[in-house]
A = this chain, B = another copy of it.
Amino acid sequence: MTTHGEGSLKKVFRDNQLKATPQRLDVLKLLMTCSEHLDAEEIYQRLLKKKKNVSRATIYRTLEVLVEHDFVRKLDFGDGRMRYEQNQSPDEHHDHMVCQVCGKVIEFYNPKIEDLQELVAQKHDFVMLSHTMHIYGLCSECAEGQ
């Protein structure tokens, strides 16, 4: 998933019995070449700018499909809309720190926390399928301005 032309993007869909439509390719390509955490509306707007007219309904449907097949991760930062990021492989799982002033998102990875989460789940006989950790507060810049 590090380097892909048009061909390998199509493969993503075809390997999952999904038609490789131009709309789906547009959404996937955008997410694959973007490090931000976009919401559906932002995806719609960015595609519009590139003269790629994909309806909002199709964007939502495509995102659903990509999330189902683990190409994309759906994130909820508690501000009333979902955000999406490309999904790394499981061993690259990371969590998020969200600045409540400027909205900046910092990604971090802490193996010890990951291990502890697994341990806690086991202790309760809980089968962990996914987990999220969000730290809310002020980023260094916004804290300084204060």
List CB contacts (< 8 Å) of A109-137 with chain B.
Answer: 110, 112-113, 116-117, 120-121, 123-137
Residues on the B chain within 8 Å of A20, using CB: none
Residues on the B chain within 8 Å of A76, using CB: 76, 78
Residues on the B chain within 8 Å of A125, using CB: 139-140, 143
CB distance from A30 to the nearest CB of B (A): 24
Given contacts A113-B113, A124-B106, A143-B127, A134 and B135 within 8 Å (CB-CB) = no
Q: How large is the interface on A (under 10, 10 to 19, 20 to 34, 35 or more residues)?
A: 20 to 34
A76 to B74, CA, bound (A): 14
Residues on the B chain within 8 Å of A117, using CB: 113, 133, 135
A124 touches B97 (CB 8 A): yes
Contacts A127-B143, A133-B133 known; 15 new A-B pairs at CB < 8 A: A99-B126, A100-B129, A108-B124, A113-B113, A113-B117, A117-B133, A120-B135, A121-B135, A121-B137, A124-B140, A129-B136, A130-B135, A130-B137, A131-B134, A131-B135
List CB contacts (< 8 Å) of A48-84 with chain B.
Answer: 76, 78
Instruction: Give the one of A99, A126, A134 with max B CB within 10 A.
Output: A126
